[in-house]
Amino acid sequence: MTEIGDGQRPLNTGTAHSARVYDYILGGKNHYEADVAAGDAMIEVWPALPVHMRANRAFMLRASRYLARECGIRQFLDIGTGLPTSPNLHEVVQAVEPGARVVYVDNDPIVLNYAQALLASTPQGRTTYVHADMRDPDAILGSPEFRATLDLGEPIALLVIGMLHFIHPSDDDHGLLRRLLDPLPPGSYLAATIGTADFAPQEVGRVAEQYASEGMPMALRTHEEAAAFFAGLDLVDPGLVQVHKWRPDAGDEQVRDEDIAMYGALARKPR
């Protein structure tokens, strides 16, 4: 079953948006001139950016498959979904468990406009979409779509992939994440990736400047700062590492450490 929680929304195509820039750099088709210009400018200052973005998405696919196959998780809340790109989260987890349920959340109208056509669940499972911002956890957790799709009596995997570097400390970054995690039952999981300049500070710093010039300021974090998001949770081996080092598959793209500016981890909420 596939459900959408809202209708079409008007698009601001004259301003770059992180989800559409991501789509462009990954080779997608759902973007506009402003997104192309922004993406090209970022790649010019850091040519490894496409490699970095592919590694971030590959982490999401591996982590979600691990959650479904090894942890028995059947419910998923994906914050900052981005534009649908196959394989999507629901395709990965429903291949393991056809009855898995997924709630996608994003605040970009273009994601909403494409979701109806591209997010098709298995008959046994369920997918739905909530048009909301991570900065408003109550709008997400209180939405009819969330409440009708996920059961707070059973563990839920919260995925926050490629989002936290757009959430600044001034936005109460840790508080926002806790407000999403706290209502989830023990045995739930957090999978997150967090931008860093630890490995290529000059190049990544220039990318951050480009994002800021497009109205998308970033907060890049050290390993210690990234680890703080998982405080009180039980990290799954190998812990918090660059995303390409988290349980890589044999066929994964081979990359250099300096080409990856993202930490990633999976952690369990203790019982």
pLDDT category, 1, cuts 50, 70, 90?
A: very low
For 223-245, write each residue's pLDDT tens digit: 999 999 999 999 999 999 999 99
Mean pLDDT calculated for residue range 49-67: 95
pLDDT category, 30, cuts 50, 70, 90?
A: confident
**pLDDT at position 8, please?**
47
pLDDT cut 90: percent of the chain above it: 66
* 18/160: higher pLDDT: 160
d(CA 83, CA 212): 21
Query: For residue 17, which amino acid is it?
Result: H
Q: Do β-strands 262-268 and 241-242 pair in parallel, antiparallel, or remain unpaired?
A: antiparallel
Closest residue by Cα to residue 107 from 12, 2, 230, 229: 12
Total-model pTM? 0.91
For 78-112, write each residue's pLDDT tens digit: 999 888 878 889 999 999 999 999 999 998 877 87
DSSP secondary structure letter of residue 150: -
Q: No. of H helices and E strands in the chain?
A: 10, 9
Q: Supply 137's token pair.
A: 């956890």
DSSP secondary structure letter of residue 218: -
78 Cβ contact list (under 8 Å, min separation 6): 89, 102, 103, 104, 105, 159, 161
User: Among 7-11, 120-124, 207-211, 255-259, which range has the highest average pLDDT?
Assistant: 255-259
Q: Supply 22's token pair.
A: 């991501």
Q: Could you give the domains of the chain?
A: 2-268 (3.40.50.150)
